[in-house]
Structure 1
Amino acid sequence: MSTTGHPFRQFIVKVHGRCNLACTYCYLYEGPDRTWRTRPAAAPPVVLDRTADRIAEHAHVHALTAISLVLHGGEPLLAGVSALGRFTDAVRTRVPADCAVQATVQTNATLLTEERLKGLARHGIRVGVSLDGGRPEHNARRIDHAGRPSWPAAFRGVRLLTDRFPESYAGLLTVVDPTLDPVETYDSLLELHPPAIDLLLPHGNWSAPPPHKSGVRYGDWLCAVFDRWWSAGRRETRIRLFEECLALLLGLPAATESLGLAPFDALVVETDGSIEQVDSLKSAYEGAARTGLDVFRHAFDEALRHPGVAARQAGAAALADGCRSCPLLSVCGGGHYAHRYRAGHGFRNPSVYCADLERFIRHAAGRLAADAVPAVASGEGGTP
Structure 2
Amino acid sequence: MTAVGWPYEGLDVAALLAGGWRPTPFHEVIIKVHQRCNLACSYCYVYEHADQTWRDRPAVMPAEVFASVAQRLGNHVREHDLRRVGAVLHGGEPMLLGAERLGGLAEQLRAALPSSCELRVGMQTNGVLLNEAALRVLRDHDITVAVSVDGIAENHDRYRVTHGGRGTFSAVSRAIELLARPEYRSGFGGLLCTVAPDTDAAECYRQLRSFDPPAIDFLLPHSNWGAPPDRPGGGETEYGAWLIAAFDAWYDDPEPVPVRLFESVIDLTLGGASRSEQVGLSPAALVVVESDGAIEQVDALKTAYPGACATGLNVSRDEFDAALAHPGVLARQIGLAALGERCAACPVRRVCGGGHYAHRYRPGAGFRNPSVYCSDLQLFIEHVRDRVVADSRDLALAVTR
- What range describes the TM-score normalised by the shorter chain of this pair? over 0.9
Match of 1:142 in 2: 160
Cα displacement string for residues 242-294 of structure 1 (whole angstroms, at most 9, x for unaligned residues): 10111111111223211111111111000011101111000011110011100
TM-score by length of 1: 0.96
Cα displacement string for residues 19-67 of structure 1 (whole angstroms, at most 9, x for unaligned residues): 0000111121011111000001011111111101111110110111111
Match of 1:209 in 2: 228
Q: Percent identity?
A: 48
Answer whether contact 1:133 1:139 (CA < 8 A) is retained. Answer: no
Cα distance between partner residues in 2 of 1:348 and 1:100:
36
SS at match of 1:74: coil
Deviates more, 1:83-92 or 1:166-175: 83-92
* Matching of residue 34 in structure 1 with residue 52 in structure 2: yes
Cα distance between partner residues in 2 of 1:231 and 1:157:
28
How far 1:158 moved relative to its partner?
A: 1.4
Deviates more, 1:354-363 or 1:136-145: 136-145
Once the two structures are superposed, the pairs formed by residues 111-122 of structure 1 within 5 Å of their partners are 111-122=129-140
Match of 2:102 in 1: 84
How far 1:193 moved relative to its partner?
A: 1.1
Pairing partner for 2:197 from 175, 178, 195 = 178
Answer whether contact 1:89 1:123 (CA < 8 A) is retained. Answer: yes
The one-letter code sitting in structure 2 at the alignment partner of 1:168 is G
Cα displacement string for residues 336-367 of structure 1 (whole angstroms, at most 9, x for unaligned residues): 00000000000010000010000010000000
Pairing partner for 2:125 from 89, 99, 107 = 107
Match of 1:69 in 2: 87
Pick closer, same or farther for the CA change 1:224–1:174 going to 2, 3 Å. same
Match of 1:169 in 2: 188
SS at match of 1:104: strand
Where does the alignment leave 5 or more consecutive residues of structure 1 unmatched? none
SS at match of 1:349: coil
How far 1:149 moved relative to its partner?
A: 1.4
Pairing partner for 1:227 from 243, 248, 257 = 248
SS at match of 1:30: coil
The one-letter code sitting in structure 2 at the alignment partner of 1:56 is G
SS at match of 2:47: helix
Pairing partner for 1:158 from 173, 176, 185 = 176
Pairing partner for 2:327 from 295, 299, 307 = 307
Answer whether contact 2:156 2:167 (CA < 8 A) is retained. Answer: no
* Matching of residue 193 in structure 1 with residue 215 in structure 2: no
Deviates more, 1:67-76 or 1:153-162: 153-162
Deviates more, 1:310-319 or 1:15-24: 310-319
Cα distance between partner residues in 2 of 1:231 and 1:151:
27
Cα distance between partner residues in 1 of 2:300 and 2:178:
30
Cα distance between partner residues in 2 of 1:185 and 1:374:
29
* Matching of residue 283 in structure 1 with residue 303 in structure 2: yes
Pick closer, same or farther for the CA change 1:251–1:124 going to 2, 3 Å. same
How far 1:4 moved relative to its partner?
A: 5.6
Cα distance between partner residues in 2 of 1:83 and 1:24:
29
Pairing partner for 1:255 from 250, 262, 275 = 275
Cα distance between partner residues in 1 of 2:388 and 2:142:
37
Match of 2:38 in 1: 20
How far 1:211 moved relative to its partner?
A: 1.3
Cα distance between partner residues in 2 of 1:203 and 1:282:
9
* Matching of residue 57 in structure 1 with residue 75 in structure 2: yes
Once the two structures are superposed, the pairs formed by residues 291-330 of structure 1 within 5 Å of their partners are 291-330=311-350
How far 1:310 moved relative to its partner?
A: 1.0
Cα displacement string for residues 159-206 of structure 1 (whole angstroms, at most 9, x for unaligned residues): 221225122111000000001011111111111111111100001011
Cα distance between partner residues in 2 of 1:167 and 1:36:
33
Answer whether contact 2:88 2:121 (CA < 8 A) is retained. Answer: yes
Where does the alignment leave 5 or more consecutive residues of structure 2 unmatched? 1-20
Cα distance between partner residues in 2 of 1:363 and 1:4:
34
Answer whether contact 2:153 2:170 (CA < 8 A) is retained. Answer: no
Answer whether contact 2:152 2:203 (CA < 8 A) is retained. Answer: no
How far 1:311 moved relative to its partner?
A: 1.2
